[in-house]
Amino acid sequence: MAEQAQIGVTGLAVMGRNLARNLARHGHAVALHNRSQARTDALVAEHGDEGTFVPSTSMQEFVASLERPRRVIIMVKAGGPTDAVIEELAPLMEPGDVIVDGGNALFTDTRRREAELRKADLHFVGTGISGGEEGALHGPSIMPGGSAQAYESLGPLLESIAANVDGTPCCTHVGPDGAGHFVKMVHNGIEYADMQLIGESYDLLRNGLGMAPGDIANVFRQWNSGDLESYLVEITAEVLGHADHDTGKPLVDVITDAAEQKGTGRWTVQSALDLGVPVTGIAEAVFARALSGHAEQRVAARELPGPSGNWGLSNSDAFIADVRNALYASKVVAYAQGFDQIRAGSEAYAWNVNLGAMATIWRGGCIIRARFLDRIREAYDKRGDLPSLLVDDYFTEAVGQAQASWRRVVAGAAQYGVPVPGFASALSYYDGLRAQRLPAALTQGLRDFFGAHTYRRTDKDGTFHTLWAEEGRPEVSTD
């Protein structure tokens, strides 16, 4: 009888290979399978000494090498390729076995697959795995969905290889069916927003102040020692401080300024539109990437009249401090919106996701890992039904203190012509949320005028319509 493996990985490109290595390094016997045998052989040849690998030459042999209940992690491209592997794998599995999808799958695909495989008594676990190739090898943040029963057998394995902060693994059961992939999707949406805000901060210091990338790198390094400490701020300093080998110029100056996207940020916004959650920071980040890619339109618009972007400032330290505060406040808004979306998804799909637990497993391993996730965890642990992160005492105070800077930066960016869609939308969201009265009252009036769509009143219950075309324009109750 071949060595029985505790878990198997099929799909041994870099992410899958590193996950298999991570599992082996933690003492688990790992079954290996890949469509092309060469990848399986290379993994064993190069890293066979890191632990126990059980290579296979077919899916049948792969499944046969696994102890019961079998646990298989699929690490192939989302969409069709994942469906193809499931179709090949599922008939070989037995009731109670677990199939894990570790790719960036769309959560609605995961819900469909989970329901389908449940008919064969197979557990399907859509799992977000964040941290890139390095995270997969050294400790990712892991966001498994699927059944509680599946997590009983799968959870300890995943927790043993996840990042660990203060003795707590960055892995927990997120909730049933597609909950894990939904939370990973929102993680990526927040990642987009975070990167957009960092980009706008860079643009303000570069074009607003005329600083060189190497000097801006030092500013981000300083910011990373305070409450902006995070992986993305840390690597921003690395990228901005890097000189291109061919030209000797700052690498950021030789990279084409057209951002690409695989789609997870777009999915987040599409889902938020369906759920009615205003994730304005994530949406602006997705659209900013799209705008940057419209090369022809941008060339045609280059001569449009407007200021140069330089603020002609004398006191750069004060400006840098203002940008830092604007970044922090806008970041709080972006995370507040992301957590609102997780709550809305949890309610819509009856997942019962614990928001504090999500902040906890994002403290390490994932791309958005940051010091202030501890504060977010504290906020939701203090009050699970917190209406918004912005009304948590700590964040109310922190954003309040940053407000003057935030407003100066947004106003100045408008005046001097630096595009800051993330900063500006975050400030408008903040002002919209706290407004005593919104112009939505007029929107309702206009809708009623042209479409008889009715409106509610502040002074009495029910819905009403004004007979705009009649003499005196009387109002009638429509209940």
Cα distance between residue 141 and residue 58, in whole Å: 30
Sheet holding 475-477, edge to edge: 455-456, 463-466, 475-477
Closest residue to ligand 6PG, Cβ-based?
A: 130
Least distance in angstroms from the C-beta of 367 to ligand 6PG: 4
The two beta strands, 98-101 and 71-74, are: parallel
Cβ proximity to ligand 6PG, 34 vs 188, nearer residue: 188
Q: Which of 179, 116, 146 is nearest to 352 (CA)?
A: 179
Q: Which two tokens stand for residue 88?
A: 């090949």
Cβ proximity to ligand 6PG, 264 vs 405, nearer residue: 264
Cβ proximity to ligand 6PG, 28 vs 184, nearer residue: 184
Our answer to whether residue 77 is catalytic in this structure is: no
Is residue 153 within 8 A of residue 344, CB to CB? The reply is: no
DSSP conformation letters of 80-98: HHHHHHHHHHGGG--TT-E
Residue showing tokens 């750069």:
316
Cβ proximity to ligand 6PG, 71 vs 369, nearer residue: 369
Q: What is the DSSP letter of 391?
A: G
* Site residues, ligand 6PG (CB under 6 A): 104, 130-132, 188, 191, 261-265, 366-367
Residue type at position 322: D
Q: Which of 473, 470, 472, 476 is nearest to 457 (CA)?
A: 476
Residue type at position 156: P
Cα distance between residue 403 and residue 317, in whole Å: 17
Least distance in angstroms from the C-beta of 202 to ligand 6PG: 17
Is residue 116 within 8 A of residue 178, CB to CB? The reply is: no
Q: Which two tokens stand for residue 6?
A: 């505790």
Single out the catalytic residue among 50, 67, 159, 191: 191
Least distance in angstroms from the C-beta of 278 to ligand 6PG: 21
Least distance in angstroms from the C-beta of 135 to ligand 6PG: 6
Single out the catalytic residue among 114, 184, 200, 284: 184
Our answer to whether residue 184 is catalytic in this structure is: yes
Least distance in angstroms from the C-beta of 281 to ligand 6PG: 15
Cβ proximity to ligand 6PG, 69 vs 199, nearer residue: 199
Q: Which residues are catalytic?
A: 184, 191
